[in-house]
Structure 1
Amino acid sequence: MPTQGTRKTCEAKIRCKVEGGKWRISKVVLEHSHGLAGHFAGDQEAVEDSPAARAPSTGEYEAEPTLISNVGCSGVSRGTGRNPSMAQDLIDSFKSMQTEDSHFFYTVQLEAAQGMANFFWRDGQSMVDYEHFGDVLILDTRTTINIYNMICAAFWGLNHHRQRIIFGYAFLVDQGVDSFKWLLQSFLGAMRGKKPETIITEVSEEIAEALKVVLPGTFHRLPYWSILNSDRTDVNDLLSECIFNWNALLARCNPHEKKQFTSLYEMRKKWSLPFTKIVFSAGLLSIQNNEDSCPVFENLSWETSLPQIAHRCKMVAKHLRSREFEEDEFCETTAAVDLESRSPMEKQAKCLYTRPIFEMFQKELINSLSLAIRVSNDRETFELTEQDSKKIATVKVNRTDLTLACSCGKFKSVGILCFHVLKVYNYFNIFEIPSCYLSKRWMKSAKDRLPIDTPSANTVQDSGASSRREYMREALHVSHGHGFKKRERIPLRAWRMEETEGHSEGIDDDAVEP
């Protein structure tokens, strides 16, 4: 153990100052001039202020200091420890971003004894996007920053055009359970405690363990590109053929014969179609969508400093948002794909859906023409088959309200009606899509208004604080509007209602144009 005199001469420090009642980092020195014997275990220092949430379990969204906390991760190579100034340089970069975006958020988990740190950050637009499209969350951990021995992780999802959108980034010094727990808790705190319905990750026991603790109610699913990540070509070929037909896989190979198949078999509820088709995934678990398998950072070079990498992450998000803007503009000013029929459903879908989703629906509608249909005596069960195919889809009908449930699970997993259901609706002479099957997240108007705010469980609600938070949400939504007149008018109207009436009851339906 170092002597007291040795400790006094050590220059290692984290210096903070208070400005306006808020803590801010003024200096970080991570190099020590003495031996280390674990004196930092359990120490916590209040540091950087950001417009962050409180502890993730509360769901509050108040500006207050976040914590840099110590975690024990000895024996692992630390990238930032090789260059102690790197952590401060990155924090300085985040502070600069915060001056440009008042809703920018970052948090740091620092082990002073090892000179290492985990970082998470997101900008204000990511918060708005997550409000609208945070039902499905992808945690991409496939990129390694070799020169720092760190992981660059990305949280992303799909917008209403089925384009990628970035929800946040992270630098992680390891892939341990504690690091992933911290990361998931930081993400939830930055997003006001809102939990996704489904999270998609790589195959990782550490991530799975962290999810059990932090997101126990969220469906954890594994994408096909992770399942197919094997060194065995024959295994990949077999899985690529059978990944969506578990019975065929069992018929061709005993999953208990090899360790790999045993492991996959134990995880089958996370990737096999009979289980994944009942959970909404925005189509991200479909093997047909090859573009989804590409990592976010595949075209980036990492022979740069962490601040430069963070800047490149910012440019990736900016590029993706420019693509969304272009597609929004196309929907506002240009007619979508031409109609292929006189079907009122097709015309309705063209008016409501974004172009990529309309094209998906249009294909389902056309394919419904090729189905043969067999009806039960009570007209409550329909069996549908395609020509020259042995596959049979079963559609169950609720005669009370004519809602349908198809065995293929397309509506539950993707959010649009399948060609089996469309065929049955045609049988019943129903020529409009029922409102219960029109998913708002796929419509042109998906971002015209904020979702209803649902406070987190176990949170004591204060009416005044709740009103302020809702006001902040609407203000943030307006500040990140896309510039289209219709998109500006709707949130501004809600904001003015808040000012004049003290509470916004929402927007009249006639204010939202198809």
Structure 2
Amino acid sequence: MTFGTLDEVEEFYKTYAHKCGFSVRIGGQGKRNDMVDHKRFLCSREGFTRRRAESNNQKKHFETRCGCNARIYVKLSQDNKYYIASFVEEHNHSLVSPDKIPFLRSNQSVSERGKTTLFTCHKASIGTLQAYRLLQVSDGFDNIGCMKRDLQNYYRGLREKIKNADAQLFVAQMERKKEANSAFFYDLVVDEHGKLVSMFWADATSRKNYSHFGDLVSFDATYSTNQYNMIFAPFTGVNHHMKSVFFGAAFIANEKIESYEWLFRTSLSAMGGKAPRSIITYEDASMKSAIRTILPHTIHRLCMWHIMEKVPEKVGPPLNHEKDFWAALNNCVWGSETREEFEMRWNEIIVAYGLQSNDWLANKYQIRESWIPAFLWIYLLQGS
């Protein structure tokens, strides 16, 4: 019996193993003139597992190998065909019963029906586990052909392919928009493997909005996309009707200083080099460093909403239900009209509620000029 390729040999031996009741493991091979000259296909229980001595605290592993010698050994003939040069049939262990054969690891594969079901479920936002359960109900546990982990591994590989294809479609869409309107702006960065890592875009309306209302910019990078593992970061502002307006947006792969520096530099290029007078962000060291480098003359303010949202966690449960505490804090933060008024009210709260040892509140007091409204007017007047 001869075979044209090693894939045919592997399929033949796995089919044989499936009927007999054992799993297959790929063995060693040798090459000659860049072609595989010989190769072994083994019983999965061949040899013995080498493990370090396990301590009492480590989980013990079930030993699956027992030195079984069952195998086939194929060699390459003169006419570039593979033939079975050696065949060992006997096993030194029991073979699995027919009802356990579908669960042998080397016989497991994701069927076309399984692939279709998985893809359809994910389009409907149904997860892999639910898709596997659906296959169990529709096809029966013994007829799925794979385990849950196989389905998860398959989707992981599929998702990487989809991500790359979606990135290409996304860039093509940006290019079509630019061809339709020369005022549309976009720029991107790819890594050494050609993978999209950063993208910024702004249409004509967004750029015009910025020219009128770009003195104050809100930048938020707290949105993440689960499917693509990228951060969505929009630039927004407020128009003369006190309505939110969109200036531009970006996808970035990480929150490193270099990513933010590229993003702020690119946004400046899109807006004709005009930097905002003030930018509001959440508290982030990388973002702060990038703003200091790329927007040195822009007033950097921290978002009060993000800071106030953390107060319940930082002050602890005893104060979370204290109406007087929240009334005093809101009056201090929002109602103080001068620096002196804020500092007086803040100190009163710290003493009244025994928060002198709260490091988080102490830090927020140290950076009070970056988020308390009473300090904002001073900087705006200085910049005018």
Larger radius of gyration: 2
Kindly indicate whether structure 1 or structure 2 has the higher relative contact order, using CA contacts under 8 Å at least 6 residues apart.
Answer: 1
Q: As a proportion of its length, which structure holds more helix?
A: 2
